[in-house]
Amino acid sequence: DVKVTQSSRYLVKRTGEKVFLECVQDMDHENMFWYRQDPGLGLRLIYFSYDVKMKEKGDIPEGYSVSREKKERFSLILESASTNQTSMYLCASSRGQAYTEAFFGQGTRLTVV
Amino acid sequence: GQNIDQPTEMTATEGAIVQINCTYQTSGFNGLFWYQQHAGEAPTFLSYNVLDGLEEKGRFSSFLSRSKGYSYLLLKELQMKDSASYLCAVRLYYGNNRLAFGKGNQVVVIP
């Protein structure tokens, strides 16, 4: 079974804290994605990576950065958390350029207070 | 840029058939996905279309017309467990085949 695992299901952080969200996949997938999901807005792409050490901005990268030092791990970093970053964060992975399926992690519900 | 539209909500009766529409305006279309997402859970893959026509998979079918920028997901013999949000997503040629999602269509199945 394909597995995409996010490090935390729920997180509560204070404004201004540096926050790390970790995602690990066990299927040797080249592509990894970070989305946030908000009511009425759907899934919005923050960053994605198609190879180790490669990253590309998605639609809403402001306030976020990412790291991909190993193929199986893709980290999302909130440099200085703000209340408007309270959201559900979803990680996904897929194989190659012509992928026909992307697999999602269970999500991290982040609350910034 | 891209624009992917879905109706926000629909209600249907158990045992019925429901059609969920998705229209898209994107540059570099390279395939369309449908995902199901139950409340509080991760999206799970349902179907994928890259060529025009109908793909059938058990109770679920998905149709694509690339010339019209249109797809639908058909759910037959609705069950209570089909109550979920259904997400349409387009894979784009540019940006290394990134995936862009619509806002999702919440389907509520009633007895």
Model pLDDT for residues B6-22, shown as the tens digit of each residue? 988 999 999 999 999 99
Tokens of B93: 């040629």
Please give the pLDDT value at position B28.
Answer: 85
Cα A13 versus chain centre, distance: 17
| Cβ atoms A78, A63 nearer than 8 A | yes
Residues of A with Cβ-Cβ distance to B95 under 8 angstroms? 48, 56
Q: Identify which of B56, B45, B18 has the alpha carbon closest to the alpha carbon of residue A102.
A: B45
Counting Cα atoms < 13 Å in the Cβ hemisphere of B98 gives 23
Task: List the structure tokens of A58.
Answer: 């998605």
* pLDDT recorded at residue A1: 67
**A99 has pLDDT over 80:** no
Give the number of other Cβ atoms within 10 Å of residue A28's Cβ.
Answer: 9
Q: What is the pLDDT, as a whole number, of residue A16?
A: 97
- Dihedral angle sign, alpha carbons of residues A37, B30, B64, B23: positive
Q: Give residue-wise pLDDT tens across range B90-111.
A: 998 876 778 889 999 999 999 9
Judging contacts by C-beta atoms under 8 Å, the chain A residues touching residue B100 are 45, 59
Q: What is the least distance, in Å, from the CA of B49 to any CA of chain A?
A: 9
What's the mean per-residue pLDDT of chain B? 93
Name the closest residue on chain A to residue B103, using Cα atoms. A42
Give B22's contacts in chain A (Cβ within 8 Å): none
Q: Which 3 state secondary structure label does DSSP give B82?
A: helix
Give the full edge-to-edge strand order of the sheet including A19-25. A4-6, A19-25, A73-78, A64-70
Chain segment A19-65, per-residue pLDDT in tens? 999 999 999 999 999 999 998 898 999 999 999 999 999 999 999 99
Among B110, B22, B34, CA closest to B71: B22
